[in-house]
A and B are shown apart, each in its own frame.
Chain A
């Protein structure tokens, strides 16, 4: 390798490392929020952290915290709204509001409800929480870009259990019919829903084939690999003329050994001791 290539790969690696650290900060921040609130959805916060870190802190989304309503911005919708702690953490880290506010999560009259609230929180694109709302709204936002001849893109992050809601598949048909290649659906494929593994509840496989049959260009990647996420999100659409679906293979509870792959951690709330143990595993003293 010549000097330049070496330098580039060194800086790429530094970037990956820094983003991984930020993802782990999102993890610890969410767990701290859930601990303070005594409520929350730890498992899904942790599985989505790398995706959120890459999109929000890897500068992939064209957004501007100084003007959250900037009309040309990329739209990101967290359809799995119960992952609000991770999302709020990413928004705060991106500068939409001070991280100091995160500790008010679910407090009386706090702007930080247990689910994303665009009426109250700068940077939140859609009011979600009831599952199956994000994709239809994302389709509308993608259609609006086309009608207004704008180049903004729309990203929507769904759960995998969430895809059992029929509204997703109605929206998927609209997306393919209108060939919305400015739309990317990211599925947090952690294989667990609220009560059990998805495949023990309502089988979701073959998920990629289903999206393909619905007219999407589909790619499956490791949802915890920063380089894979960066690479995928910098090369969109997957196929011109088709909506993109990125199935991010993830682990629910990722990064905290005792929470990993445990259905009970869907809405598990860490105790003080568990929070301390998580901080050690995530390589930091405290998030804030």
Chain B
């Protein structure tokens, strides 16, 4: 459960953010008759079995047909419903890209894409099932809000926020277990970075799974006499330029970390801001320009240095070379 998850007792306990997403989605559907869900066969992985049982009249399974599912979502929105279109991130983005661009983003359709099991959650299934391009793809589409919550508390908050917010949204719902980095009192604010730790030497900007790693890295950097600020940039779009520029002005460099390709995602977004407005030493941690090999998510994250140790090493390297 989400509440309690963030209590100190929960400590380093790990959570599948899909549970928080599922609980909020059902709670919202119970309270608001406009809320409906669209699935593409995979009810268990999208955690929609209970939703289907509770709200059979507000549940559509289009079968294995992602282009169709996004278009159907747009149509439901035009009829006054608020559809949550829930499918594996890899297919929802790659297969239905033009529907996302035209039917949702250009149209400003009030559709919420819930991209399940993103990043390397399906590591062993191979590169076809990894969703590491999704942040770059989604981020460049105008009108689309792109959110990458870090833990179950933020996942629940983002779900609640999505119903208040009018317009298309892309929500990346993690499957790889994460620990809680936010307290129960956490309030999500669109387009605002969450500063989780103050620091004056270097700023670590992360989202999703990598936020917990960034916090651990900041802790480890203390032993090197390095004071690291940690920002959770769960809103990739619209981006918190102020927080980034403030980091560029007040610390000696920035390290970004995301469970996605290093090109075009969070790191790319930060680079666009600092390069044009306040050039600052920057390192972007992500998957390099390759298709990832096969292996569990944990194996692949380590393989690519997407760990606390990887962030720590990169920060030290940046401070050494950039003086």
Contact = CB atoms under 8 A, between A and B. Distances in A.
Given A109-B295, A114-B124, A202 B129 contact: no
B95 A130 contact: yes
B126 interface: yes
Given A108-B294, A114-B294, A194-B42, A164 B124 contact: no
Interface string A115-133: 1010000000001111110
A108 B41 CA distance: 29
Contacts of B128: 81, 113, 115, 127-130
A195 B296 contact: no
A285 interface: no
A114 to B, nearest CB: 4
A165 interface: yes
A208 interface: no
B299 A193 contact: no
A107 B125 CA distance: 10
Given A110-B294, A195-B43, A201-B41, A132 B64 contact: yes
Nearest to B125: A114
B61 A113 contact: no
A107 to B, nearest CB: 7
B294 A166 contact: no
Contact of A115 (B129, B293, B299): B129
B124 A195 contact: no
B51 interface: no
Contacts of B129: 114-115, 129-130
Contacts of A193: 41, 63-64
A221 B212 CA distance: 55
Nearest to A128: B128
Contacts of A112: 294
B21 interface: no
Contact of B124 (A106, A194, A196, A202): A106
B94 interface: yes
Interface residues of A, number: 30
A162 interface: yes
Interface in B41-72: 41-44, 61-65, 67-68
A106 B303 CA distance: 15
A161 interface: yes
Contacts of A275: none
A207 interface: no
Contacts of A194: 41-44, 64
Interface in A42-83: 81
A201 B94 CA distance: 23
Contact of B90 (A39, A130, A165, A166): A130
Contacts of A127: 128
A37 interface: yes
A114 B63 CA distance: 22
Contacts of B90: 130
Contacts of A196: 43
A195 B126 contact: no
B170 interface: no
Nearest to A200: B61
Nearest to A108: B295
B64 A37 contact: no
B85 to A, nearest CB: 16
A161 B64 contact: yes
A201 B61 contact: yes
B56 to A, nearest CB: 13
A81 B90 CA distance: 15
Given A108-B296, A193-B63, A194-B41, 13 more contacts: A81-B128, A108-B303, A109-B295, A113-B127, A114-B126, A128-B128, A130-B128, A164-B62, A165-B64, A195-B42, A201-B63, A202-B63, A202-B65
29 contacts: A39-B125, A106-B125, A106-B294, A108-B293, A108-B294, A108-B296, A113-B124, A113-B127, A114-B122, A114-B124, A129-B126, A129-B128, A129-B129, A130-B90, A130-B91, A130-B95, A132-B64, A161-B63, A164-B41, A164-B64, A193-B41, A194-B64, A195-B42, A195-B43, A195-B61, A201-B41, A201-B63, A202-B62, A202-B65
